């Protein structure tokens, strides 16, 4: 399956991927409204790690045998049999954080939108390319099959 990969040698840590992720997963999909009007603000489902000149983005790797899926006691996480993506059902999630305990990439966030639920990369199902990849100015993020 196509996944998002990072080229750390060209990532400058601008965090536009985080911003584009927030906008894409906002109600309005409008950058100003997403940041100024939607309270609490949606969380980015991608994390930029940075230390000195080194930086890169990390998001769900959509594992073949996802530990989060085994750990999810509410049955909110599943693998889309068609795309292979690990998908999250907000309505079934109770926020037990078992997924946070087992995700090897630290790629599952605690959403702060009132209901306490987990939030993770969904590969932007409404787009051809995920928003983080599309908006990366240095093509440090790529969406490809490996």
Partner 1 sequence: MNVIIGNSAAAVGAIETIRQYDQKEDIVVISKEPYRVYSRPLISYFLAGKVKSPQMYYRDTDFYKSNNVRTMLGKTVTGIDSKKQKVILDDGEKISYSKLLVATGGKPFVPPIEGSWKEGVFTFTTWDDAKALAKAARTAEEAVVIGGGMIGLKATESLQMLDVGVTVVELADRVLSLSLDEKASRLMQKHLKNAGVKIITENTVAEVMGRNKVTGVRLKDGTQISCDMVVIAIGVVPNTDLLGDASVKCNRGIVVNDEMQTNISNIYAGGDVAEATELLSGEKRVIPIWPVAYNQGSVAGSNMIGESKVYQGGLSMNSIEILGLPTISVGMTNPPEGDFKVYTKYESDKMAYKKVVLKDDVIMGSVFVNSIDRAGIITDLIKNKVNVRRFKSKLLNDDFGYVFFPQKERLEKLGA
Chain residues binding partner 1 by CB under 8 A are 5-6, 8, 47, 49-51, 54-56, 58, 61, 67, 70-71, 73-75, 91-92, 94-106, 108-110, 146
Residue placing its CB nearer to partner 1 in the complex, 75 or 125: 75
Cβ(11)–Cβ(137) below 8 Å: no
CB of 21 to partner 1, least distance (A): 16
Residue placing its CB nearer to partner 1 in the complex, 56 or 121: 56
Residue placing its CB nearer to partner 1 in the complex, 97 or 125: 97
CB of 117 to partner 1, least distance (A): 12
Torsions phi, psi for 52 (to 5 deg): 60, -135
CB of 107 to partner 1, least distance (A): 8
Q: How many CB atoms lie within 10 A of CB 26?
A: 17
Q: Which two tokens stand for residue 127?
A: 């787009």
CB of 90 to partner 1, least distance (A): 11
Residue placing its CB nearer to partner 1 in the complex, 75 or 137: 75
Q: Concatenated DSSP letters for 78-123?
A: EE-TTT--EEE-TTT-----HHHHH-TT---EE--SSS--EE----
Spatial distance between the Cα atoms of 35 and 142, rounded to a whole number of angstroms: 26
CB of 8 to partner 1, least distance (A): 8
Residue placing its CB nearer to partner 1 in the complex, 31 or 73: 73
Spatial distance between the Cα atoms of 37 and 45, rounded to a whole number of angstroms: 19
């Amino acid at each position: 399956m196509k996944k998002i990969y990072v080229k750390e040698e060209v990532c400058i840590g601008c965090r536009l991927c985080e911003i584009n992720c927030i906008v894409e997963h906002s109600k309005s999909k409008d950058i100003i409204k997403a940041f100024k009007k939607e309270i609490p603000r949606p969380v980015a489902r991608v994390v930029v790690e940075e230390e000195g000149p080194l930086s890169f983005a990390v998001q769900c790797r959509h594992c073949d045998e996802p530990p989060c899926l085994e750990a999810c006691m509410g049955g909110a996480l599943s693998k889309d049999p068609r795309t292979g993506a690990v998908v999250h059902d907000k309505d079934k999630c109770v926020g037990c954080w078992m997924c946070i305990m087992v995700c090897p990439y630290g790629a599952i966030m605690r959403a702060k939108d009132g209901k306490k639920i987990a939030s993770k990369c969904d590969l932007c199902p409404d787009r051809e390319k995920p928003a983080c990849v599309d908006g990366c100015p240095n093509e440090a993020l790529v969406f490809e099959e490996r």
